Chain A
Amino acid sequence: MAENQTDTTNTQEIIPFVAELTAHNQAWVSGATQALGESTIIVPREFIVDVCSTLKHGYQFNLLSDLCGADRGVEEDPRFEVNYHLTSIKTGKRLRLKVLLTEDDPHVNTVTDVWKTANWHERETYDLVGIIFDNHPDLRRILLPSDWDGHALRKDYPLRGYEPYSLT
C-alpha cells in the first residue's frame, strides 16, 4: 500500500458499527457512508445528543476534535450541515457525524453537556454560519464583533462584506 493511501484501520468500520448503533434505536442513523478511509454517519437532529452521549460513554469517543458548520449552497435543501468529528484517544479511531438542517429552521441541540469543548466550536458556527444551538450556555458571537449583521460564511454573503469599501 503506498504510504499516503488511505488507511482504513483507524476509522470505525462503518457497517458493523451502524448495526450496533441502530440496535439502540432504529431512528438514530439516517445514512452512513465510508469514503477516502473516513466514516460518516448522518444523524437526524433530534437524536444528536443521544448519539453523542452513547458514543462518548459507550464507545470511548472521548475527544470532540472539531465541530464545524457548512453552507451547502443557497439552492440546496437541506441548506446547512453541522459536522462533528469524534476521536477516540484510547483506540485512535475517528468518526464523523453529520446533521442536516434546513434554512428556515436551523436549530439543533447543543452537545456542550457531552463535551465541554463544543462550547466554543458552536459559538463559532453560530457566528459564521448562523446555526442556532438550543440550550447552549452562552451562545454569542466569538470571532466577529458583537454588533455584526449577518453570518459571514454563508454562500450569499459577499466576500468583501456589505459596508462600502472606502479609502478615506
Chain B
Amino acid sequence: MSVSTSNLPTSQYEVIDQPLDTQMTISMGPQHPSTHGVLRLELILDGEIIVKATPDIGYLHTGMEKLFEYKKYQQGIVITDRMDYLNPLGNNLAYVMAAEKLLQLEIPERAQIIRVLFCELQRIASHLVWLGTHAIDIGAMTPFFYCFREREKILNLIEAASGGRMTPSYFRIGGLMMDLPSGFENRCKQFLDNFPKALKEFNILLTGNTIFRSRTQDVGHISSEDAIDWGLTGPSLRGSGVNFDIRRINPYTGYENYDFDVCVENGGDVWARYLVRMREMEESHKIVKQALSRLKPGPVKADDPKVSLPDREDMKTHMDSLIHHFLIVTEGFNVPAGEVYFPIEASKGELGVYMKSNGGPKPERVHFRGPSFVNLSALPTMAEGEMVADVVAIIGSLDIVLGEIDR
C-alpha cells in the first residue's frame, strides 16, 4: 500500500539532499545502559565512524571534596565509601592512610594484614563487576550472572566484618573499625578454594570466544607514550605495556612482603586490558591466600588513645578511656599541620589523596585523584576513528565508575 506524499504537511526543517555527506552529532546520553553511570558522550559521526568524541561529566557531582572540609577526619571516612562505590574499601584505605601519614601513626601488624586482605578481596569484587558489565555490553549475557554470583560471596565476607556491603567504612585512622568476626578465616578460605573454578568458567566463556575476541582485538588502541601522557594508570596503563604498579613501586601497608606478579600486556587495545584484569584477579587471589595464612592474634588499632577509640568494655569501666572516647567523638583529634599526597593502587588505577591539614580537627583541603576521571580523559584518543559500536567496548575496557569521576 503506497502512501501519497501530496497530503503530508511540508516539513519545517531543511531537507538535506545529500544525507551521506554530512556529519551527525548524537548524544550518547547521560541515561544509557552501557555507559556505566551517568556519563554523556557527545559523538560527532561520519556514518558509523566517530570523528570526535567529547565526554561530558558532572551529572553525579555531589561536592564531596567540599564536604570533607566541614567534617572531622574520622567522619570523612563514610564519605569516601561513596566515591568509587565498587571499591569502597580502597577509597577508605587511601583516605585513612593519608591521615595516618600526617599523624605519623604506627599501625599494628594484624591491622595491616587485614587491610591487604580486604583490599585485594575488594579488587577481585571490582574486577568481577567490570567483567560482568563489559561482557554484557558487548552482548555476552551469561558471564554477568556468574560474576555477580561470585561477587555476592565477597560482599557477604565484607558484610560479616564491617556491617556494610557497598559502604563498609571498615578502616579507621589508626587501624580497623573492629577485629574480624569468629569463623571469618574459614569462610574466606572456602571462597578462595572455590574461586579458581569460577575464574576457569569465565575464561571458558570469554577468553576463547571468537566473537568476543573480534569485538575486542585491535579496538581502542592507545600507545604507551600516549597512555602515560594522558595520565592513564592501573590496568589500562599496564595493558599498553607499561610496568607500573604502585603496590610494587611505592608500597604501602605491607605490600612489599607479598609475593605477586605485576600483569602487563603489550597490545594496548581492549583485548589487552581484558587480559590484564583477568590475570590480576588471579594475582589478588594469591595475595589474599598469603594474607590469610599470616594472620596472628594481636591489636587492630594503633596505640594512641587520642586517635583510636577505646574498647567498649574499657570505656565503660575506666574514666580516662571514657574521656578519650568522648573527646574523639565530639571534638575530634588535631592532626599536625602539613600536606601529603598518598597514592594507592586501587582497582582502576592510581587513587591519590592530597590531604592538607592546618593543625585542627578538620582537614583544610582533601583532593581525590580519581583514576576513572583521568582514564576517561583518554577516551577521545581511543575512540576517534573507531565505529560507534566500539565505543561501548572501549568504555567498558576503561572500567570507569562515575562516582569517582564526578565526586
Is A bound to B? Answer: yes
Query: A residues near B, CB below 8 A?
Result: 2-6, 10, 35-38, 40, 62-66, 68, 70-72, 83, 85, 87, 89, 92, 94, 96, 115-117, 119-121, 124, 128, 141-145, 152-153, 157, 159
Chain B positions 312-361 with a Cβ under 8 Å from a chain A Cβ: 338-341, 343, 350, 352, 354, 356
Q: B249–A10 contact, CB under 8 A?
A: yes
- Asked whether, in the complex, the Cβ of A66 is within 8 Å of the Cβ of B341, the reply is yes
Per the bound structure, the CA–CA distance linking A89 and B364 in Å amounts to 30
* Pairwise interchain contact A68-B106, C-beta atoms closer than 8 A: no
Least distance between B383 CB and chain A CB atoms (Å): 15
Which residues of A lie under 8 Å from residue B354 when comparing CB positions?
A: 66, 68, 83, 85
Interface 9-mer from B201-209, B277-285, B366-374, B392-400: B366-374
Residues of B within 8 A of A96 (CB): 339, 341
Given A10-B250, A35-B338, decide whether A65 and B369 contact each other with a Cβ distance below 8 A.
yes
The answer for the CA separation of A83 and B102 in the assembled complex, in Å, is 17
| CB–CB B231/A4 < 8 A | no
User: Assuming the A-B contacts A68-B354, A117-B231, A159-B70, are A3 and B374 also in contact, with contact meaning beta carbons closer than 8 angstroms in the complex?
Assistant: no
**A144 in contact with B341 given A4-B252, A36-B101 (CB within 8 Å):** no
Taking the nearest CB of chain B, how far is it from the CB of A32, in angstroms? 14
Q: Which of B338, B340, B367 contacts A68 (CB 8 A)?
A: B367
Q: Which residues of A contact B369 (CB under 8 A)?
A: 65-66, 68, 85
CA distance A2 to B302 in the complex (A): 13
Which of B65, B97, B230, B340 is A117 in contact with, Cβ under 8 Å? B230
B residues less than 8 Å from A37 (CB atoms): 101
Closest chain B residue, CB of each to CB of A115: B229
- Shortest CB–CB separation between residue A1 and chain B, in angstroms? 10
Contacts of A157 in B (CB 8 A): 66
Q: Which residue on chain A has the smallest CB distance to residue B101?
A: A36
A66 vs B231: C-alpha distance when bound (angstroms): 9
Kindly list chain A residues whose C-beta atoms are within 8 Å of the C-beta of B341: 38, 65-66, 83, 85, 94, 96
CB distance B242 to A89 under 8 Å? yes
B228 near A36: Cβ-Cβ < 8 Å:
no
If the complex has contacts A36-B340, A85-B352, A117-B377, are A70 and B365 also in contact, measured as CB distance less than 8 A? yes
- The reply to whether A36 and B338 contact each other, CB–CB distance below 8 Å, is yes
* Given A2-B106, A153-B65: A70 in contact with B356 (beta carbons within 8 A): yes
Does any Cβ of A come within 8 Å of B47's Cβ?
Answer: no
Provide the bound-state CA to CA distance between A10 and B246, in Å: 11
**A66 CB to nearest B CB, Å:** 4
Segment of B32-40, B56-64, B131-139, B143-151 engaged in the interface with chain A: B56-64
Task: Look across to chain B and name the residue whose beta carbon is closest to the beta carbon of A10.
Answer: B250
Nearest residue (CB) in B for A67 is B369
Contacts A64-B231, A143-B406; is A6 near B101 (CB within 8 Å)? Answer: yes
Q: Which residue of A lies closest to B232 (CB)?
A: A117
In the docked arrangement, what's the CA distance between A22 and B318, Å?
58
Q: Determine if A94 and B250 form an interchain contact, defined as CB atoms under 8 angstroms apart.
A: yes
Tell me if B163 counts as interface (CB < 8 A to partner A).
Answer: no
* B67, B107, B339, B352: the one within 8 Å of A65 (CB): B352
Contact between A153 and B107, CB atoms less than 8 A apart: no
**Assembled-state Cα–Cα distance A115/B407 (Å):** 23
Residues of B within 8 A of A141 (CB): 58
A89-B228, A94-B341, A153-B65 in contact; A143/B374 too (CB < 8 A)? Answer: no
Find the residue from B100, B341, B356 having the highest chain A CB count within 10 A: B341
Chain B residues near A4 (CB, 8 Å)? 97, 100-101, 105-107, 112, 252-253
Q: Mark B189-226, 1 if CB is under 8 A from A, else 0.
A: 00000000000000000000000000000000000001
Residues of B close to A83: CB separation below 8 A: 339, 341, 354
Judged by a CB distance under 8 angstroms, whether B244 is at the interface is yes
Q: Within the complex, which residue of A36, A40, A66 is in contact with B102, where a contact is CB–CB below 8 Å?
A: A36
- In whole angstroms, what is the CA distance A117 to B370 when docked? 13
17 additional A-B pairs beyond A87-B343, A89-B242, A120-B377, beta carbons within 8 Å, are A10-B250, A36-B101, A40-B339, A63-B228, A63-B244, A68-B354, A83-B341, A85-B341, A85-B354, A116-B226, A116-B230, A117-B231, A121-B374, A128-B65, A143-B61, A153-B66, A159-B66
Q: How far is the CB of A55 from chain B (nearest CB, A)?
A: 14
Q: Provide the B240-274 mask, 1 if CB < 8 A to any CB of A, else 0.
A: 00101000011011100000000000000000000
- Is there an interface contact between B254 and A119, defined as CB atoms closer than 8 Å? no
Residue B104 at the A interface, CB < 8 A? yes
Identify 29 residue pairs between A and B in the complex whose beta-carbon atoms are under 8 Å apart, listed by A's number: A2-B106, A3-B107, A3-B254, A4-B101, A4-B106, A4-B107, A6-B104, A10-B249, A36-B338, A36-B340, A38-B341, A62-B229, A63-B231, A63-B244, A65-B350, A66-B367, A68-B354, A68-B365, A70-B364, A85-B341, A96-B339, A96-B341, A115-B231, A120-B373, A142-B57, A144-B58, A145-B58, A157-B66, A159-B66
Out of A65, A68, A70, A145, name the residue touching B343 (CB < 8 Å).
A65
